[in-house]
Structure formats: structure tokens, C-alpha cells
Amino acid sequence: MCGIVAAASHRPVGDLLIAGLRTLEYRGYDSAGIALQTESGLERQRIQGKVKALEDLLARHPIEGVSGIAHTRWATHGVPSDRNAHPMTSDALGLNGSNGASTLAGHQVALVHNGIIENHDELRDELSAAGHMFTSETDSEVMVHLVAQLMSEGNDLFDAVRLAVKRLHGAFAIAVVSAAEPGVVVGARLGSPMVVGLGEGEHFLASDVYPLLPVTKRFHYLEEGDVIRIDRESLRIVDADDQKVERPLKIADMDADLVQRGEYPHYMLKEIYEQPQAVAETLEGRIGPHRVLPNIFGVGADEMLQRVKQVHIVACGTSFHAGLVARYQLEWLAGVPCTVEVASEYRYRSPVVPPDTLFVTISQSGETADTLAALRHAKASGYLSTLAICNVPESSIVREADLVLMTRAGPEIGVASTKAFTTQLVALQLLVLELGRLHGQDEGAYAEAVGQLHHLPDLLNQALDLDEEFAELAQLFVDKHHALFLGRGSHFPIAMEGALKLKEISYI
Ligand code: GLU
């Protein structure tokens, strides 16, 4: 899940889309791109690297239009490169029909995608056989050809997307434009978020509300399976059963600033209440109904994970405790041996690394000095691969690890880790489940464990509903000077983390 911003307007939208991509940078990405409906048809620019690099490219080769789509990519299928950057386009083939598209210059259909298409191999074979030429290694490209194919069979863009998404397995948010229908943008979502912004004589689509706050405060949140068509004047949504639906209007009352305290007396409380949302975001686009989606840890990760014979987790403080929890689960659920170690000690050892050992490091900030030093030490020590679980996309640890899973908890200001810790546990659980599946975990138990993950945000909300009872219980402890936390099994590290939090916050 990275970022999508799209617009159908009466004014040039290039700058607005690029500014939108900037606000989505916090999600992490490796390339950026844009396609605009220009006077001569659809034109695209895309590049590996930062949004800044895309801006520089656009300064050299300007394109402008009143509708278009923009994207930041976090590669899952195909390396980060210009060629694999979105928007994906389908060129002329399949569109030279009665809709007159053959007379339009440039690309015929352009599409941006966040998520993972699981059945891309099968679709690619089918579309290649029908004559479509593939130019990238991404899973996403099958969708643009599928939409083009369906348009060549006489469907308009909306119907083509509606029919195409029925063929897709996996998780996606997409935005699609066609040279044949200037001014129209079609979107769809399943497993990855998408919102619709309502402007004055203009409409927008985006992965979340932040990129659109400068242009509107009025939104609809799309639901699972929804397909939407926007132009500057109108919008139309159908649900997964093709029924026309309206989604409730929400007025955003938040500031563009992510770290406002709002109604909460302090950040820690705010962050405690953000856990259900943070956990939902950590899971978004990463699990299907019954399985963890392929390559969520990065390009080629699944092949590597298949080879893993043991796991070595190295971290500090709260992240170390999360690692200790994961050890119980890795051994119990996945049957994979695991050791967990504090980074400040590990970095001074000369580790003897058994073959096919995966090094996993966990850090909220991605800058923890001992953890970063441990990662560098590990990279010189002959591990099969290094994987970082981290919350800050631009951090050193993310840049230096071979593979990364972002926790997407958002900024954490409070001293005691709350949502960063819970999302680390969730990210580690995804690793445990994936290793379990690749190492022959019973399929029924596996599917059930994935199914349970879907309930986590709700369960966290139920726990938070007990707030008043916790406040009453706290009265029993308020004048105590010593505390002892007890736990067994995976609750032993949870007890250690509880003790750490109490010490950090109360100095008891
Ligand atoms: N799976 C797609 C790719 O690798 C999209 C990744 C994303 O969510 O940005 O290109």
C-alpha cells in the first residue's frame, strides 16, 4: 500500500496531484509517476526515486491536463525501476475499434495500483495469448491490459473496470483513465483503502484524506468491492453486486497535521486510542480472506522465505520485547527455530551464522543506533537475508535492510510505546504466518489464524471500551511504590513490556 491521488477537474491538476503524492510520502515508496489527459491524449511521466525526481522530470518534460492519476509505488512484484513504475499503460492494441480510440495519440488506458494481484500469472498468460504486449514485471500491468481488452469488446471505461475487478484475486485500490473518455477517472477498491473527495466542480480519488485536505473537507469512503466513476460534474458508485449505492458524506474535521492532540489530554492516550486504526492499516492490503498475500515483505521475498531454516531477531527495548513474543509464535506455529537478542550486545559479537538464517530487526524509528549498527554487522555476517520491521519509511534501517515491512502506525510522540508496539506484534505475526505456510503449517489452522487477524481492530476497540473500568482499577494502585508484572509463555515478554512502560511513565 503506497499512494494514489487522482482528479477530474476543470483546472490543470498536475501540481495538485504532485503535492498530494508528497503528503503520502510517509507511507514509503520507491518510485513515482503521473498520467494526465492532455490535449493530445494521455501522457505519462514516471521515475524510480523520489517525488522530487518526478517533479524535476516534469520540469524538463512538462505535461498538463485537467484530469489524471498519480502514484507512489512500493515494489512487490518486479524490482524498483523506471519501467516498473506506475502508471501502467496499455498501448493501442485492442482499442482500435468502434469507440474511435485509434485516432487518439499516446497511451490508451493508464492505471495506477496499490496492493497485490495474486492471479497475475494466469491473467498475463491469457492476455498475452490475446496479443497484449507486457512491458513491466509488475503484477499490476495485467489490469491495464484487461481493462483495455474489455474496452475493445465494446465496454466503456466504467464497465470495463467493473468487469475487470471481478477477475482479480488479491488486494487493490486502482485508478484508471482512458484516452477514449477524457475527463473521466474510474476507481475501485478491495483490501486497500480509497476515498472520494468532493470539490467545487471537481472530484478526486485518493488513498486517504490527507492529500486532498487542501482542496476539500468533504469525502465518501469507498467500501470493499466498490467501483466508482468520477468526472468533474458527477460521481457514480456501484457495490460488489453491481448495485448503484451512495456512501455517507463525511466532513473531515481534522487538521492536515497528523500529530495534533485533538480532544486528548496527552499524546499517549491519543496513541492508545489510535491502535485499532494503526493495526487495521498494518493489515491493509497484506491479507486476503484466508492467506497472507504474496511478497508483502518485498520483491522475491517468498522465494527467500521458503529457504529459511532459522530466524535471528535483534532489537532494543520495546522492539526487543516484540521479538521475544514472536519467538514463541515462530516456534509454536511455524516450527522455525528462533533466537532473540538485544542489539547492543549483538553488535559486539562475532556471530557464527548457520546456513539459511534470516536476520530480522525491529525498530520504531529506524534510527536506533545499536539496532542500526547490528543490522550493518549482520550484513557482513553471511545471513540469508535481512528484514526490517519499522515505522519510519525514510529511516536508515529501512534503506539498508534487504527487505522491509512497514508498521504504518503513524507518528508516535508518547514516551511509552503503544501503537508502535501493537503494530510490531501484528507485523511479526504476518511473518510467523507466512513462514508457517511455507513450512507446511496445516492449511485449516493457517486459514483460521489469518481469519482471526481480520477481527483484531474490533477486538482492540472492545478492549478500549473498558476504559472506565481500567480507570477504577487504577485507583487500587495509585499510591503503590513497587510493582511486579507476571506472565508466562508469550505473556512473559508482554509482562516485561508492561513493566517497562510503567517505569518510563511513572518512574516507579
Ligand atoms: N504490486 C504492485 C507493484 O509491485 C503495486 C505495489 C504498490 O502497492 O505500490 O508494482
- The 10s digit of each residue's pLDDT in 74-92 is 999 999 999 999 999 998 4
Is the CB of 74 within 6 Å of ligand 1?
yes
User: For the segment 370-399, what is each residue's pLDDT rounded down to a tens digit?
Assistant: 999 999 999 999 999 999 999 988 788 998
- Half-sphere exposure of residue 120, counting CA atoms within 13 Å on the CB side? 23
- Displacement of CA 446 from its chain's centroid (Å): 22
Measure the N-to-C terminal CA separation of the chain; round to a whole number of Å. Answer: 41
Q: Is 229 in the pocket of ligand 1 (CB under 6 A)?
A: no
Ligand 1 centre from 392 Cα, in Å?
19
What distance in angstroms lies between residue 429's CA and the mean position of ligand 1's atoms? Answer: 22
Whole-angstrom distance, CA of residue 384 vs CA of residue 142: 31
How much is the pLDDT for 258?
A: 52
Ligand 1 in contact with 114 (CB < 6 A)? yes
Q: What is the DSSP letter of 310?
A: E
* 189 CA to centre of ligand 1 in angstroms: 14
Strands (E) located in 100-212:
109-117, 170-178, 185-190, 195-198, 203-206
Residue 114 Cα to ligand 1 midpoint, Å, equals 5
Q: Which positions ≥6 away from 298 have C-beta within 8 Å?
A: 75, 76, 402, 403, 404
Q: What is the distance in A from the centroid of ligand 1 to the CA of 459?
A: 30
30 touches ligand 1 (CB under 6 Å): no
The H or E element containing residue 34 is: strand 31-38
User: What sections of 220-300 are H helices per DSSP?
Assistant: 267-273, 275-283
Ligand 1 midpoint to CA 139 (Å): 7
CA of 461 to the centre of ligand 1 (A): 30
Residue 323 has pLDDT above 90, yes or no: yes
Per residue in 15-61, pLDDT (tens digit) is 999 999 998 887 778 999 999 999 888 999 999 999 999 999 999 99
Tell me which residue has its CA closest to atom 8 in ligand 1.
114
Helices 491-506, 317-329: axis angle to 10 degrees equals 170
Per residue in 470-501, pLDDT (tens digit) is 999 999 988 998 999 999 999 999 999 999 99
User: Ligand 1 within 6 A of 115 CB?
Assistant: yes
pLDDT tens by residue, 81-140: 999 999 999 984 333 333 333 333 345 899 999 999 999 999 999 999 999 999 999 999
138 lines ligand 1 (CB under 6 A): yes
Give mean pLDDT, residues 328-334: 93
Residue 327 in contact with ligand 1 by CB distance below 6 A: no
State residue 253's pLDDT score: 67
Long-range contacts formed by 340-345: CB under 8 A, 24+ apart: 340/313, 340/314, 340/315, 341/312, 341/313, 341/314, 342/314, 342/315, 342/316, 342/370, 343/314, 343/315, 343/316, 343/368, 343/370, 343/371, 343/373, 343/374, 344/316, 344/370
Atom from ligand 1 closest to the CA of residue 113 = 5
Q: Is the CB of 2 under 6 A from ligand 1?
A: yes
Is the confidence at residue 359, as pLDDT, over 70?
A: yes
Tell how far the Cα of 74 is from the centroid of ligand 1, in angstroms. 5
Peptide bond preceding 351 in cis form (omega within 30 of 0): no
Does ligand 1 lie within 6 Å of residue 75's CB atom?
Answer: yes
> Of all protein residues, whose CA lies closest to atom 7 belonging to ligand 1?
114
- Residue 335 has which C-alpha cell? 516450527
